[in-house]
Structure 1
Amino acid sequence: MAFDATFFAFVGLLLFVALIVYLKVPGMMAKSLDERAEKIGNELAEAKRLREEAQHLLAEYQRKRKDAEAEAASIVAAAEREAEALTADAKQKTEEYVARRTALSEQKIKQAETDAINAVRSAAVDLAISAAETVLAAKTDAATSKALFDNAVQEVKTRLN
């Protein structure tokens, strides 16, 4: 029986397979693959847990953002109400100030009118006295003049008291 190269290749293959089985290479490969599958499974579980945690954090931050927006809206509304109140108060104070200034101005105008009327009366009286004095001086003599002067002084004294 002649052994050809195919036979020796077959025998080499059987020896190789026997050696691999003897060294427990398929068990080591299965163990390595199982460890790798377990590691991948753990990584997937960790990734799933991290994803759920991230979704939880996202929901929490969205809730906080909504709360902050609501708080900001309430602050803006309060500021608007306060600004309206301050505007109304300022308007009222301005109107009161204008009314006081108007009343004061009217009072000053009335006082000025009274002073002007008194000044005109005083000037008219002075002018009338001067004119009467000139007319009387031209028409009367010294004795009559003295009597009229004394009479006028007496009349002024009675009116002033």
Structure 2
Amino acid sequence: MTRILTIAATALIASPAFAAGDKPFFSLSNTDFVVTIGFLVFIGVLLYYKVPPLLTGMLDKRAEGIQAELDEAKSLREEAQALLASYERKQREVQEQADRIIAHAKEEAELAGEQAKADLEKSIARRMAAAEDQIASAQAGAVKEVRDRAIAVAIKAARDVVAKQMSAADAAKTIDDAIAEVGQKLH
């Protein structure tokens, strides 16, 4: 309050009315004097209704509100930093897990490749064995066919030789002997 009175006194002393010497200062016709009195009355009304403490109270409340907002912002910032750290930690864990999954998938792919290679080798071995069996079977079939053909040729040649050398009586005797032999074998 003394500060306000000091400011008012300084404003009064430093007014241009003291500089002007033609009119008396303490006259109602002097506008500077009237303005000074109005100003002092205004200051008095403000002091009477305790406006400066109200203003300082409002400013203090505003300062407290700002401080509360700053504190809240600080706590929110700390929470955000903690949350960021948590997310970064989770991201690292997820990255490590992804790396493990990739390594495991590579190992499984290598094992699957080796298994496929082994299965392919077995399949090739089976096909080779089947091909060798087919070759052996074809070879046996060819040998049998050649043998059968040779037997057929030998029988034909023997028939031709026997037919040329055998007479009708010899043929009849051979037939009778064959019939008798068949009869003995059947009974």
TM-score w.r.t. structure 2 length?
A: 0.72
Is the 1:20–1:26 Cα contact (8 Å) retained in structure 2?
A: yes
What is the alpha-carbon distance in structure 2 between the residues aligned to residue 134 and residue 91 of structure 1? Answer: 63
For the pair 1:36 / 2:62, whether they are aligned, the reply is: yes
Q: Kindly state the Cα deviation for residue 66 of structure 1 after the two structures are TM-superposed.
A: 1.1
**2:86 is aligned with 1:69:** no
Matched, 1:45 2:77: no
Identity score, percent: 40
2-structure distance, mates of 1:129, 1:7: 166
1:60 is displaced (CA, Å) by 0.7
Report how far residue 130 of structure 1 moved. 0.9
Per the TM alignment, residue 74 of structure 1 is displaced from its structure 2 partner at its CA by 0.9
- Structure having the higher helix fraction is 1
Greater radius of gyration (CA): 2
Offset of residue 94 of structure 1: 1.9
Structure 2, unaligned stretches of length 5 or more? Answer: 1-23, 182-187
Contact kept, 8 Å, 1:136 with 1:145, in 2: the verdict is no
Runs of 4+, deviation exceeding 4 Å = 143-151
Distance in 2 of aligned mates of 1:100 and 1:10: 122
Aligned match for 1:114, one of 136, 140, 162? 140
Structure of higher RCO (CA pairs closer than 8 Å, 6+ residues apart): 2
Q: Distance in 2 between matches of 1:80 and 1:6?
A: 96
| Stretches of structure 1 lacking an aligned partner (at least 5 in a row) | 155-161
* Aligned length, in residue pairs: 152
Aligned to 2:155: 129
